[in-house]
Amino acid sequence: MSKFFRWNMLVTSFLPLWLSILLLMAWDIHSSNFSSFCCLLNTKGIQFAVFTIIAILLFISTIAVICFLLRKSNPNESSGYGNVVSARKSSTLVTDFLLTYIVPLIAFDFTSIRDIILFLIYFALIAFLNIRNGNVYTNILFEFMGYRVFTCDIERDITGKQYLFTDCTVISKENLTGKINQEFSFFDFDNSMYLNLDHRKGQR
């Protein structure tokens, strides 16, 4: 999995937080009733710059993830087959929601330059740790597109030998808990994260 895709995954995982921040900043800027754009830049220049950067990054990352998922709907994109040995739906959505969205909104005042800088340091640390370790947050963008996240044990045939990969993250439109001991087609990111492609069968 490329660092660019990990970055886009991370950014879109924070989608509700970014939208909340943009709303707070836009409300603060609008309520200030500046007489001119130059006056706005002189008074709220840093906030306006952060607002613009967040909006651009969010747009680019969202488009990149959506295009990736649409591209993988092509039947020729499969990179392998495996058997689902065990599967359970990810139960981290509530925890991720609290840590990722609610805590920053409570801890930081996004109309304050000081708190904006502190948040950027906080997010840079999260980005570094998650991209370096290949962690995947429960992504609400996936939920909107009909995908769910499962934690699975996957058995794969590699060069004629069977290997078991445990605690793999599988992004799927199908309910994998009903596919135990069944084969499925996937796109393999890095042997620990997969995109289930079996839902495309009805499209062929």
Q: What is the pLDDT of residues 51-91, one digit of tens each?
A: 899 999 999 999 998 888 788 766 666 567 889 999 888 76
Mean pLDDT for 170-184 is: 87
Highest mean pLDDT among 12-16, 42-46, 50-54 belongs to: 50-54
pLDDT confidence of residue 202:
45
Pairing relation of β-strands 80-89 and 148-158?
A: antiparallel
- The dihedrals phi and psi of 137, each to the nearest 5 degrees, come to -80, 155
**Mean pLDDT of all residues in the chain?**
79
Q: At what angle do helices 15-31 and 3-13 cross, to 10 degrees?
A: 60
